[in-house]
């Protein structure tokens, strides 16, 4: 049971000592002139310390003033301001969803923050309702705290969680952390790593025999979107134009993403985006595969084989770059079987995916088997 937007506005206005009209008028996208107020406000009210470069992040994410991102997509940071004071904020990133031969405009809510002294006042719920009042379709993907995940599940319609996977390459770091006698970690990991390496050797033979090669790129080429042209029309996925991919990954101010195009002879088969990071927990270099798109022409078996070769080649590339654990988040059954065959294990930290829609005839949106999502659609400071 969730309250209506108008009713919530009236009740919260009373609580905040203002009128409903003041709340509705005070809810507007941030302008360039707001940035100097927004930056210290976020630093003060963020529950955890903000990463350095918040100003760069906000400019990249919202392009204040113009609010247009490459590919002609809009992005707004909505503020609730009463008497010049910011009470809460939430971003809305516009995107294009493909399905059944049509394009739908959708938005991602992100960057929700409520002034510290107003936490628990209902403003977090209210700003979600206010954003729902502005946009016909919203998608929320990602982790967040347990409390925020619960709030989202109740305000939106929860879909099955997005699965996250990990492929151990070297087990020593994990064993050292988990075993009661740390000295045993090395001999046990030597055996375990040898078995994992044998398994990878088998897949290495397969992808090398297939004639696949990888090409690191600095920017995505203009025709990259053609990779999805053979995807089944009933599938639901987010547009991946070169403009979007270059903005989302290559120009990202927070994370140093790397992109690989994957070819068989001269034919482009797919691409992989990843980033490397040093895990403080396992004290080793790890890699996250953040986006993966592959050509889906041919039958199911040919598609599976192609995906397996692409992933196996990418894994070898990441191991050569010293990754000792490789993780990946995906939504959609297409990749599950292949990931298991390659030795990926399910992680416990699954990520929530929820939808809000007030479109007519929108049942197709709530069929999880139709969706394909990677980390490309996950938004927020850490992405």
Partner 1 sequence: MSIETAISTEDALSMLAEIFEEPRENIAPDIKREDIEGWDSLGELSIMAEFDERFGITIDTEALDNFAIVDDLLQVLKDNQALSDG
Spatial CB neighbours of 137, under 8 Å, sequence gap ≥ 6: 97, 104, 105, 106, 107, 355, 356, 357, 358, 359, 362, 365
Cβ 203 to partner 1, closest distance in Å? 43
Residue of 145, 144, 141 whose CA lies nearest to 162: 141
Stretch that binds partner 1, among 31-39, 149-157, 186-194, 297-305 (CB under 8 A): 149-157
Using CB under 8 A as the binding rule, whether residue 15 contacts partner 1 is answered as: yes
Question: Which of residues 122 and 136 has its CB atom nearest to partner 1 in the complex?
Answer: 122
Using CB under 8 A as the binding rule, whether residue 154 contacts partner 1 is answered as: yes
Cβ 58 to partner 1, closest distance in Å? 25
Cβ 151 to partner 1, closest distance in Å? 6
* Secondary structure (3-state) at 191: helix
- Going by the DSSP 8-state scheme, the letter that residue 156 receives in this structure is S
Using CB under 8 A as the binding rule, whether residue 90 contacts partner 1 is answered as: no
Question: Which of residues 108 and 126 has its CB atom nearest to partner 1 in the complex?
Answer: 126
Binding-site size, partner 1 (CB under 8 A):
23
The 10 Å Cβ neighbour count of residue 64 is 19
Give kind and range of the element (H or E) at residue 21. Answer: helix 20-25
Stretch that binds partner 1, among 136-144, 150-158, 192-200, 263-271 (CB under 8 A): 150-158
Question: Which of residues 48 and 117 has its CB atom nearest to partner 1 in the complex?
Answer: 117
**How many whole angstroms separate alpha carbon 60 and alpha carbon 111?**
13
Cβ 249 to partner 1, closest distance in Å? 34
Spatial CB neighbours of 319, under 8 Å, sequence gap ≥ 6: 169, 200
Using CB under 8 A as the binding rule, whether residue 3 contacts partner 1 is answered as: yes
**How many whole angstroms separate alpha carbon 97 and alpha carbon 376?**
13
CA angle 308, 309, 312 (to 5 degrees): 85
Using CB under 8 A as the binding rule, whether residue 8 contacts partner 1 is answered as: yes
Q: Which of 21, 36, 85, 150 binds partner 1 (CB under 8 A)?
A: 150
**How many whole angstroms separate alpha carbon 101 and alpha carbon 314?**
31
Using CB under 8 A as the binding rule, whether residue 204 contacts partner 1 is answered as: no
Cβ 82 to partner 1, closest distance in Å? 16
Instruction: Extract long-range pairs of 360-364: CB within 8 Å, 24+ residues apart.
Output: 362/137, 364/99, 364/100, 364/234, 364/236
Residue of 383, 370, 352 whose CA lies nearest to 247: 383
Question: Which of residues 84 and 120 has its CB atom nearest to partner 1 in the complex?
Answer: 120
Interface characters, 104-133, with partner 1 (x: CB under 8 A):
---------------xxxxxxxx-------
Using CB under 8 A as the binding rule, whether residue 342 contacts partner 1 is answered as: no
Interface characters, 155-194, with partner 1 (x: CB under 8 A):
x---------------------------------------
Using CB under 8 A as the binding rule, whether residue 2 contacts partner 1 is answered as: yes
Cβ 81 to partner 1, closest distance in Å? 20
Spatial CB neighbours of 367, under 8 Å, sequence gap ≥ 6: none
**HSE-CB for 240 with a 13 A CA cutoff:** 27
- Of residues 249-308, which lie at the interface with partner 1 (CB under 8 A)? none
N- to C-terminal Cα separation, the chain: 32
Site residues (vs partner 1, CB under 8 A): 1-4, 7-8, 11-12, 14-15, 119-126, 147, 150-151, 154-155
């Amino acid at each position: 049971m969730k309250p209506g937007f108008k009713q919530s506005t009236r009740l919260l206005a009373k609580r905040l000592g203002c009128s409903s009209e003041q709340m509705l008028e005070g809810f507007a996208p941030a302008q360039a002139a707001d940035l100097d107020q927004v930056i210290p406000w976020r630093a003060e009210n963020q529950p955890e310390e903000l990463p350095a470069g918040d100003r760069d992040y906000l400019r990249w994410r919202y392009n204040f003033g113009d609010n247009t991102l490459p590919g002609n997509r809009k992005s707004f940071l909505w503020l609730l301001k009463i008497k010049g004071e910011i009470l809460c904020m939430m971003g809305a990133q516009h995107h294009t969803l493909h399905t059944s031969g049509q394009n739908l405009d959708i938005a991602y809510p992100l960057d929700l923050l409520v002034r510290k002294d107003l936490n628990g006042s209902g403003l977090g719920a209210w700003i979600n309702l206010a954003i729902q009042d502005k946009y016909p379709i919203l998608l929320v993907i990602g982790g967040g705290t347990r409390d925020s995940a619960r709030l989202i599940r109740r305000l939106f319609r929860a879909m099955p969680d997005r699965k996250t996977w990990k492929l151990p390459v070297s087990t020593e770091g994990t064993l050292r952390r988990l075993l009661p006698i740390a000295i045993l970690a090395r001999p046990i990991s030597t055996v375990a790593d040898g078995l994992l390496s044998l398994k990878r050797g088998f897949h290495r033979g397969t992808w090398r025999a297939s004639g696949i090669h990888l090409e690191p790129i600095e920017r995505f080429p203009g025709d990259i979107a053609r990779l999805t042209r053979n995807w089944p029309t009933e599938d639901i996925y987010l547009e991946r134009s070169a403009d979007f991919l270059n903005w989302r990954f290559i120009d990202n101010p927070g994370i140093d993403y790397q992109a690989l195009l994957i070819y068989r002879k001269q034919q482009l088969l797919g691409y992989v985006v990843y980033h490397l990071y040093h895990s403080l927990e396992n004290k080793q270099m790890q890699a996250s595969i953040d986006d993966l798109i592959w050509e889906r022409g041919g039958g199911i078996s040919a598609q599976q084989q192609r995906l397996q070769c692409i992933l196996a080649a990418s894994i070898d590339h990441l191991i050569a770059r010293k990754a000792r654990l490789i993780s990946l988040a995906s939504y959609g059954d297409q990749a599950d079987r292949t990931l298991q065959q390659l030795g990926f294990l399910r992680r416990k930290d699954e990520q929530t995916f929820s939808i809000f829609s007030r479109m007519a005839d929108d049942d197709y949106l709530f069929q999880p088997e139709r969706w394909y999502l990677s980390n490309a659609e996950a938004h927020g400071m850490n992405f």
